[in-house]
Amino acid sequence: MAQFDLLVIGSGPGGYIAAIRAAQLGLSTALVEKDTALGGTCLLRGCIPAKTWLETAHRFEQMQVANDFGIDGVDGKALRPNLGAIVKRKGRIVTKNSKGVEFLMKKNKVTVLKGLGKLLGGGKVEVAGDVHEAKRIILATGSAPKPIPGLETDGQRVINSDHILDLTELPEHLVILGAGAIGVEFASVFSRLGSKVTLVEFMDTILPLEDEDVGLELAKILRKSYKIDVRTKTKITRIEKRADGVVCFLEGETPGEVVGSHLLVAVGRAPQIEGIGLEKTKAQVDRGCVVVDKFMQTGEPGLYAIGDIVRTPWLAHVASDEGIVASEHAAQSLGKDAHPHPIRYDRFPACTYCDPEVGSIGLSEKAAKAKGYDVQVGSFPFAPMAKANIVGEPHGFIKIVADKQYGEILGIHILGPKATELVASSVALMGGEFTVDELINTMYPHPTLNEVFPEAARAVYGRALNM
């Protein structure tokens, strides 16, 4: 029986970061992974492979307008996406990054155990028939696509976010159920690569977790610039599979039938907590998620849970920070010099890598009002900004939500070029508890996309300079 100070089950961005931090703090650490490769859903079947598809689609679109930038010799109409090559490139990037995680485990002297990790109680974990013992355990088993009754996927015509990453033929007409981040990103990918796309969302706006203005404006752009058929307040009630496609029956604001070559079910993920032995512990489960405190501790002494199996934002960077908190708390409890800091969940950045991109942090206008703030708002479009026109991406805007009494910035919402990079400035602004006036008095370089920040702050007072 091998013994460790800390054992982590799951090698995703939460798990492997937790293992590294524990090792840095001097804990003998093991990392358990049931897949053949390290990295978890994000690296193997989620964030990373999806972004390789998005990057290809972005470059494909740029090449089609090469003449607009004074580049001759490129026949945009003759360009064709090679999905087989896209999938191979995706595979190379995934493999490289997974091997990078393997290297980090060796560098930090983390023992990697391959197999399904199952709790036995009393600090014992079974992996591939062997029993290991740990003083502290972190669960980071992640989530997986959740089957929707009546819309079960087959990997052929009805697919999920795992299947779509390995398509080698371009869908003629891709119907997407769910306009959250996954649905909107793949709508952006395949519309640019040449597929007809229908995007179906039950809520009032696409990206319903974002500020309402962002969802409304993005829908306009997707319809006008990418010819995507966006249908909100609508649901797919049932489907009929055919040899050459799928008939989707719709109810709601836009009822009727849509016949697609493929249906992507981009709604519903479920925590992977079945079969890992939770019943052998005192950990509590609420609506499918493990209950934890601010240090990610469960009801079982010495057992932590992080990432997609707890009821916090299901984002890779959130899981990584939770892994750090859990490892530092575990190390502190074992006498190490560690100082865990609970996460401020009101200040996590969210990103959607569609085109144009979306990046946000903090409260939406609606949420701020619901919390009782006397809200003031400033919005500024990218269209007047020199850099946005230079890069040929003038769509979108930035919106600042602020408290009228003290001027504190409560939320920043960006729809536009490089929004997922620009949001990093928003993280710093909110982390520093900037006020609108302080942002106005902060100098930004010209010409940059970042110039929208002080302009949006000035717009709060109705005195933006460049419009």
CATH class of 158-267: alpha beta
Helix (H, G, I), strand (E, B) or coil at 204: coil
Contacts 24+ apart (CB under 8 A), 163-168: 164/264, 165/45, 165/49, 165/50, 165/53, 165/87, 165/90, 166/87, 167/83, 167/87, 168/83, 168/84, 168/87
Q: Does this chain's domain 2-145+271-333 share its CATH topology with 158-267?
A: yes
Q: What is the pLDDT of residue 76?
A: 87
Q: Measured between alpha carbons, how far is 389 from 395 in angstroms, rounded to an integer?
A: 9
pLDDT in tens, 301-326: 999 999 999 999 999 999 999 999 99
Active site residues: 446
Cβ proximity of 123 and 113 under 8 Å: no
Q: What is the pLDDT of residue 320?
A: 98
Please compute the mean of the pLDDT values over residues 95-124 and round it to a whole number. Answer: 98
Residues with Cβ within 8 Å of residue 243, at least 6 apart in sequence:
none
pLDDT in tens, 336-353: 999 999 999 999 999 999
Cβ proximity of 380 and 397 under 8 Å: yes
Amino acid code (one letter) for 417: P
Nearest Cα neighbor of 12 from 36, 43, 34 is: 43
Cis preceding linkage at 381, omega within 30: no
| 297: pLDDT strictly greater than 90 | yes
Q: What is the pLDDT of residue 146?
A: 87
pLDDT in tens, 60-71: 999 999 999 999
What architecture (CATH level 2) is domain 2-145+271-333? Answer: 3-Layer(bba) Sandwich (3.50)
* Per-domain boundaries in the chain: 2-145+271-333, 158-267, 356-460
| 1: pLDDT strictly greater than 90 | no
CATH class of 356-460: alpha beta
Chain-centre distance for alpha carbon 95: 20
Q: How confident is the model at residue 416 (pLDDT cuts 50, 70, 90)?
A: very high
Q: Measured between alpha carbons, how far is 77 from 72 in angstroms, rounded to an integer?
A: 13
